[in-house]
Amino acid sequence: MSQNPTELDLDRKTALLSGLNMWSSEPDEEAGFPALVLSDGPNGVRRQKGEADHLGVHRSEPATAFPPGAALGSSWDPALVRRVGEALAVESRALGVDVLLGPAINIKRSALCGRNFEYFSEDPLLSGVLGAAHVEGLQSGGVGASVKHFAANNQETDRMRVSSDVDDRTLREIYFPAFERVVKQARPATVMCSYNKINGVYAAENHWLLTQVLRDEWGFDGLVVSDWGAVGDRVAALVAGMDLEMPGNGGVSDAEVAEAVRSGRLDESVVDTALARLRELTGRVRSGAPVELDHDTHHLLAREVAGECLVLLKNREGSLPLTPEGRIAVVGEFAETLRFQGGGSSHVNATRVDTALSELRAQLPDAEIDFARGYDTTRQADAVELREAAVALAAQADTAVLVIGLREADESEGFDREHIELPGEQVELVRAVAAVARRTVVVVLNGGVVTLEGWHDEVDAIVEAWLPGQAGGGAIADVLTGRVNPSGHLAESIPFRLNDTPAYLNFPGEQGHVRYGEGVMVGYRYYETADVAVRYPFGHGLSYTTFEQSGFQVTATGEDTARATVTVTNTGERFGKHVVQVYVSAPKRPVSSPARELRGFSKVALEPGQSKVVEIDLDRRAFAFWDITRDDWTVAAGRYEVQLGENAHDVVAVQPLDLVGDLLVAPLTLDSTVGAWFGHTTVGPVLTEAMMAGMSEEQAAAAAESQDAMRMVESMPMRQFLGFLPTPIPAEFLDQLMTMSRSSEPVAS
C-alpha cells in the first residue's frame, strides 16, 4: 500500500506537480508516483532519449510518421483515425511513452496559421469526431492522450502572449465543440492548455476555462497539463485548475506554491486536488506490459491511411488514373524527396520514406518513366535550366506528373505564413510543362492550404496530397495508378485569394490582441453566407467512380432531434467510398446564422452497383445556438432546412424540419422593448386594450392605422416609451402586466 499523497511533506507535493525534466514527471515511487513520460505527438512518437528540446531540433528515436492532421482531416473517417491511434499506442509503449501529446484539434481559423498542418479542419464537428477517434484508439492501447491546445490557439504569431479576443458565442460554437466532444465521448487522460490568453486571461490561469467549462460543464475528469513553458504564475495556474506544469524548471515554481500555502495565500487542498489527479493518471496510463512493434506493418498502415486522405480535386476527361503503358515524365524534386511532415514539436524521425517516383516505377513496370527535378528547394541550382530540362522531357511524354508543394521552411510551428502562394519557380514550372505536355497531372504537397491560381485551368488533374506521412510516396502512386480509388474530401476550403478569407482583416492581430472579428463565420460558414466564391469548397473530393444519392428523408425523433436517411449507390465500375454530408440551415433567429453548418457525416464503402442506406442522427445541438442572454444553448422555433450536400456549396437535396423550439420564460421588464410588450401573447392584447380605452375615438383610429409610427417605437425600451405617452399608465397596472408575463412564453425573436 503506497503512502497517502495528502500526507506527503508540502515540498514533496509541490515538486510532484512539475516536471522532472523536459519529458518526464517527477517520480516518488513510494507515494505511488512513477516517472511518467510525456512525448510528442500527435502523428508519430517523438521520443528523445539524448538531448532534449521541444521544438523538433534534436533527433528522436525512429518511429512511424503517420499522416498529420491536415491529411487525416481529409479522410472524414473516424474508424481510420482510430486505427492510427491504436498504432500510435503500440509505438508509444515500445518507446516507453505514457502520454502522447495529441491530438491537436484547434480550428483552422486562418489559412496562414503555421500549424494548420497539424490540425484537422475549419469545422468543429469534423475536428471533434476525428479527435475523439484518435483519443479512443490511443487510449485503448494503454497510452494517455493530451488533447491540445485548449483553447483559441489558432495562430503562431506571438502565441505565447497574444490575447485571443473571442466572444462567448463564437467560443461555444466554433472553438470549443471539438474539445467538448472529445472530453465527453473519449474521456482523454489529459488536456493541454494553450500558451495564449483568452480574452485577456492566460489559458493556464483561466479558472473559467479549465474548471468551470472543462470540468464542471463537460465533466472532464483527467489531468490538465501545461503547454511546454506556458505557466507564468504557478499559484494562479493551480487555482485555475492547471495541474501539472511541464517541463520542470528546477523547482522555482514549486517553491512559489509551497510559500503560498505556508503564508496562507493558497489552500493546501488545491495542491492535494491536483496531486490526486496526477495519481489517477498514473493508474490510467501505465500498463507496463511489453508490446510487439512491427515497423513494416505500421509503414503499410501509414500508406493505407494516406491513400484515404488524398483529395482528387480535378480530373478532366478521366486523365487519372494513369494508363499502365506509355511515356510518363515525372517532374519535381518532391517526387524523389518526399515532403511528408511539418516542422516543430511534431517532427518525427521516420523509420523510412517512400518516394512517389520509385513507387510509380514499381507499379507501372510497362510504362517508360523518366524523371526531371524541375526545381530545387535549396535554390542553389539554376531554375531556368531545371525548368527547361523538365519541359523537354514533358514534351516527349504522354503524361507529365508534376509533384510540387511548399518547402519545409515555408511552414512550421512557431511562425505563421504571410501568403498562401506556392513558390514562384514551381508555378512557372507547372505552366511551362502544361504548355507542352499532352496531359498534365499535378500532385501538391502542403500542410497549410495553398492557392491553385495561376495554373489551375492549364492542367488536367490535381491531387491535393497534403503532407501524407512517411508512406505518402506509395499512397500517391496508389492513387495515380488507380490501385486506390481516391476518397478524401477537403476538410478546409481552398480560397482563390488570401484576401477572400474570413479572418483576413483580423489576423494575426496587433499590440498583443487578436480580435476574432469574423465571429462564427469561419471557413465555409463565411464563404457560403457572404456568397464569396472559392476554388474548391469544404467537403469537395472526386472519385474514379460515380455515386448517386436518392430518397433523402428527414424525420423528427424528438422535440429537437431528427434522423436523416439517404440511399447511396455506386453507379460506376470501381469500388469506391463516398462521404454523405448533412448540413443544417436555421430559420430567422435572434443571432446571425451561417448559411449552413455541417451537422453529420458518414463515409460509406461501396462495390460497383451496390447500394447502402445511410442514417445520420441529428442531436439537439445540430439546431441550437449559444444564447448569451441565457448562457446556454437555445433552439429557436421555426422551419429548419436539413440539406444533403456534395460539399458545403453544392446542396443536392433539402428537407424541411419544423421545430417548436425552446419554451422559455421571458418575463417583461421596463427594459424590454415596446415591440416585446405589445407582441407578448398574453400581455400584448391586455395592454393594447387598456391603451385604446384611454384614447378618444379619433386618436384610437389614428393609432390603429399608424403602423409606421409603431415600427419607429418598436425597438424603444418601455421605460422611455412611457415618458412619451400623453396619459400615463399607472405603475400598479404595469406591475400586474409584468407579473402576468412570468408565465411561459416562446423565446423572443
When binding is defined by CB under 6 A, the residue of 43, 127, 155, 345 that contacts ligand BGC is 345
Nearest approach in angstroms of CB 715 to ligand BGC is 47
- Contact flag: residue 26 with ligand BGC (CB under 6 A): no
Nearer Cβ to ligand BGC (346/426): 346
Residue nearest to ligand BGC (CB): 54
* H or E element, residue 657: strand 651-659
* Interatomic CA distance for residues 344 and 44, integer angstroms: 13
Q: Rounding to the nearest 10 degrees, give the CA dihedral for residues 329, 334, 337, 338.
A: -120
Q: Tell me the pairing of strands 745-746 and 663-664.
A: antiparallel
Using CB under 6 A, which residues numbered 639 to 658 contact ligand BGC?
none
- Contact flag: residue 54 with ligand BGC (CB under 6 A): yes
CA distance readout (Å), 511 to 10, 115, 161, 395, 451: 40, 22, 10, 53, 29
C-alpha cell at 161: 502572449
Nearest approach in angstroms of CB 119 to ligand BGC is 11
* Spatial CA neighbour of 635 closest among 649, 613, 620: 620
Nearer Cβ to ligand BGC (41/502): 41
Q: How many contiguous H segments (helices) and E segments (strands) does the chain have?
A: 23, 28
Nearest approach in angstroms of CB 228 to ligand BGC is 4
* Spatial CA neighbour of 540 closest among 652, 645, 655: 645
Nearer Cβ to ligand BGC (60/470): 60
Nearest approach in angstroms of CB 69 to ligand BGC is 12
Nearest approach in angstroms of CB 165 to ligand BGC is 21
Nearer Cβ to ligand BGC (148/417): 148
Q: Binding-site residue total for ligand BGC (CB under 6 A)?
A: 9
Using CB under 6 A, which residues numbered 671 to 700 contact ligand BGC?
none
Q: Tell me the pairing of strands 163-165 and 513-515.
A: parallel
* H or E element, residue 144: strand 144-150
Nearer Cβ to ligand BGC (345/351): 345
227 is catalytic: yes
* Interatomic CA distance for residues 326 and 742, integer angstroms: 80
C-alpha cell at 439: 496531359
When binding is defined by CB under 6 A, the residue of 101, 393, 622, 668 that contacts ligand BGC is 101
Q: Cis (ω within 30 of 0) for the bond into 149?
A: yes
Q: DSSP of 247-306, one letter per residue?
A: S--TTHHHHHHHHHHHTTSS-HHHHHHHHHHHHHHHHHH---------HHHHHHHHHHHH
Q: How many C-beta atoms lie closer than 10 Å to residue 90's C-beta?
A: 21
b or e along 286-303 (b: 16 or more beta carbons within 10 Å of the residue's beta carbon)?
Answer: beeeeeebeeeebbebbb
* Interatomic CA distance for residues 306 and 286, integer angstroms: 30
- Contact flag: residue 560 with ligand BGC (CB under 6 A): no
Nearest approach in angstroms of CB 405 to ligand BGC is 23
Nearer Cβ to ligand BGC (41/321): 41
Contacts of 23 (CB under 8 A, 6+ apart): 37, 38, 39, 47, 48, 52, 247
Residues 206, 162 contacting (CB under 8 angstroms)? no
Helix (H, G, I), strand (E, B) or coil at 588: coil
- Contact flag: residue 277 with ligand BGC (CB under 6 A): no
Using CB under 6 A, which residues numbered 727 to 746 contact ligand BGC?
none
Helix (H, G, I), strand (E, B) or coil at 193: strand
Nearest approach in angstroms of CB 115 to ligand BGC is 8
- Contact flag: residue 228 with ligand BGC (CB under 6 A): yes
Using CB under 6 A, which residues numbered 434 to 473 contact ligand BGC?
none
Nearest approach in angstroms of CB 620 to ligand BGC is 33
Residues 49, 56 contacting (CB under 8 angstroms)? no
* Interatomic CA distance for residues 397 and 326, integer angstroms: 8
Nearer Cβ to ligand BGC (41/332): 41
Residues 230, 204 contacting (CB under 8 angstroms)? yes
- Contact flag: residue 40 with ligand BGC (CB under 6 A): yes
Nearer Cβ to ligand BGC (26/359): 26
When binding is defined by CB under 6 A, the residue of 148, 234, 373, 387 that contacts ligand BGC is 148
* Interatomic CA distance for residues 164 and 155, integer angstroms: 9
Nearest approach in angstroms of CB 230 to ligand BGC is 8
- Contact flag: residue 180 with ligand BGC (CB under 6 A): no
Nearest approach in angstroms of CB 22 to ligand BGC is 8
Nearer Cβ to ligand BGC (104/434): 104
Q: DSSP of 315-371, one letter per residue?
A: EGGG--SPPSSEEEEEE-HHHHS---S-BSTT--EES----HHHHHHHH-TTEEEEE
Nearer Cβ to ligand BGC (115/525): 115
The residue behind cell 484518435 is 134
Nearer Cβ to ligand BGC (192/579): 192
Spot the catalytic one: 28, 98, 158, 227: 227
* Interatomic CA distance for residues 638 and 402, integer angstroms: 51
Nearest approach in angstroms of CB 260 to ligand BGC is 26
* Interatomic CA distance for residues 149 and 240, integer angstroms: 16
Nearest approach in angstroms of CB 467 to ligand BGC is 16
When binding is defined by CB under 6 A, the residue of 26, 165, 173, 227 that contacts ligand BGC is 227
Nearer Cβ to ligand BGC (242/635): 242
Q: How many C-beta atoms lie closer than 10 Å to residue 53's C-beta?
A: 12
C-alpha cell at 603: 463515409
Residues 203, 196 contacting (CB under 8 angstroms)? yes
Task: List residues with catalytic annotation.
Answer: 227
**Residues in the site for ligand BGC, rule: CB under 6 A?**
40-41, 54, 101, 148-149, 227-228, 345
